[in-house]
A and B are shown apart, each in its own frame.
Chain A
Amino acid sequence: MKISAEEVERVAVLARLRLTEAEKLQLTRQLDNILEYMEKLNQLDTTGVEPFTHPFATVNAFREDAVTNQSNPEALLANAPDRDGNFFKVPKIIE
């Protein structure tokens, strides 16, 4: 087994996903199967191979830190599940 049901549970908490018992069982089996396939990569010796960062040589993209968009709180808040004036209203964070 590459991954256990307990690990699936732990990862689900990290990913902020509630899973049903049935989902946990199914995901454990499916992820195990996929991770088993990923084992392939260990056939390769990658000592001294740099991890990939970009497809071609490039330079950092600097630009002025300037405000370019117009302030439009109404359009931004129109999708909010809950609001209070021009603020997003969220559940209490600190007890």
Chain B
Amino acid sequence: MSLAALTVCDAGEKLRAGEISSVEITEAVFERIAATDERINSYLTLDREAALDQAHRADAQLRRKDGKSALLGIPIALKDNFLTRGLRTTCASKILGEFVPPYDATTVRKLRAAGAVIIGKTNLDEFAMGSSVENAAFFPTHNPWNLERIPGGSSGGSAAAVAADQCTAALGTDTGGSIRQPAACCGVVGLKPTYGRVSRYGIIAFASSMDQVGPLTKNVRDSALLLEAIAGHDPADSTSANCAVPRYGTVLTGDIKGLRVGIPKEYFITGMQPDVERAVRLAIDQLQKHGTVIEEISLPHTEYAVAVYYIVATAEASSNLARYDGMRYGDRADAKDLTETYMITRDEGFGAEVKRRIMLGTYALSAGYYDAYYLKAQRVRTLIKRDFDRAFERCDVIVTPTAPTTAFKLGEKTQDPLQMYLSDIYTISINLAGLPALSLPCGFDHDGMPIGMQIIGKHFDEPLMLRLAHHYEQATEWHKKKPRIEVR
């Protein structure tokens, strides 16, 4: 097995035992990228020189035995909406030009402090707006399991890189499912923490009331290790939660007997792919065999979530993206006056989906429509959150499919934005309510594409969610399956 295929946990053990070096594993990752990324296109920017420098430093630290961090010397990829000091950050948009951030996101700073090796920046839908990476300004990313399929989005580059062993683990962001849906599409684990669990400082903002950073990994334990490294209060993000960070790596084992697992009836609807329903139902049966108590629950406002989300998220986006005016960074168009400079700069810099969302959000916030759309949506959002409050009186975690279908074909949904929005129906309510959730592999469809199961926890109850996920994973073989990629 190539060193690039190791998990964070296994690689860490071998590094600390002196069996392998960080330089070896980093070289193996770059070899893998060279052999496969021409077809998959996970990466927008690679940082080989800095990565190898850090790998050498990590090896020196390991030799001195002064490294206790689980991430010391581990190659990690970052979605290209994380600010990385001195390393080009594009957000897969033309409007940022050749933007080089003057500072690191808090999560990036924490990874560096833990001794992680940052490999490069992965592809995404422009400004994280999309479910397929087809909205990327430069090129789409392909699913390692089938190159004609989308990798999911918007963290599709990170998910594909993890699935294809082009990194040991990756970070992404999730505003409406952007970590979990690509994780499901690519057969990896993806975790969206509770809103506020992880700092958003230095993440290029999309919808600030829902954006959250989280890991994409080869197994559940790795997600726990990464979450432990990046979670915590940050004075630079006033919405980051000021409460202690559990040792997520140590909460995985333990009994799940008697754990109450809620199954929302509204999540098993007509229109979902039969293979997805079959796989998730089988997984639920298996959880029951392992001693959990299955409870049918109801989340009655589920059908309104997509409408609420696409009002709230676009309203916030229209405000957040007002800063791209061509004055302080990015390219600036030549025009006769200031207003026209703004208008042409933004016309040339933003792609079609970003413009569509800015338009929708501006409309929803504009005079005469604010009450009918934005305020109405925020009221229904309260009802959606109350659904979860009530459900969690009867259960400890909720289990659902992550997405209604497996990865679809490139081009299949690009003509109909609304159809694309509906691929998020199982993930967006969780962001609206600020809850933590993860997706993990639970089977394959008849075309051999991975299927994801979503586990949703109470606010800040990542430990229980991780424990159930780990238990299921250890009882199954899905996470050990790898895509066969023809190597150049």
Contact = CB atoms under 8 A, between A and B. Distances in A.
B152 interface: no
Contacts of B332: 81-82
Nearest to B337: A91
B433 A55 contact: yes
B250 to A, nearest CB: 25
B196 to A, nearest CB: 8
Given A30-B417, A51-B378, A91-B338, A79 B359 contact: no
A8 interface: yes
B331 A81 contact: yes
Contact of B308 (A41, A53, A55): A41
Q: Which 6 A-B pairs have the closest CB atoms?
A: A55-B434, A51-B378, A75-B102, A79-B329, A52-B381, A81-B332
A16 B363 contact: no
Interface in A35-75: 35, 37-38, 40-42, 44, 46, 49-56, 58, 61, 63, 69, 72, 75
A79 to B, nearest CB: 4
A19 interface: yes
A93 B360 CA distance: 28
Contacts of B330: 79, 81
A25 interface: no
A95 to B, nearest CB: 8
B195 interface: yes
A54 B385 CA distance: 10
B247 interface: no
Nearest to A77: B328
A54 B208 CA distance: 11
Nearest to A94: B338
B381 A27 contact: no
A30 B355 CA distance: 12
A11 B195 contact: no
B326 A50 contact: no
A40 B307 contact: yes
Main secondary structure of the interface of B (DSSP, over half): helix
Contact of A50 (B195, B335, B343, B382): B382
Interface residues of A, number: 50
A33 B359 contact: no
B356 A31 contact: yes
Interface stretch (B20-28, B173-181, B288-296, B369-377): B369-377
Interface string A84-95: 000010111100
Contacts of B241: 58
A53 B239 CA distance: 12
25 contacts: A3-B363, A11-B362, A14-B362, A16-B322, A17-B358, A17-B359, A18-B343, A30-B356, A38-B307, A38-B311, A41-B308, A44-B380, A44-B383, A46-B379, A49-B380, A51-B378, A55-B195, A55-B196, A55-B459, A79-B97, A79-B98, A80-B329, A81-B327, A81-B329, A88-B328
Contacts of A1: none
A40 B304 contact: yes
Nearest to A92: B338
Contacts of B366: 11, 14
Contacts of A61: 238-239, 242
- Listed residue (A16, A19, A30) with the most chain B CB atoms within 10 angstroms of its CB: A16
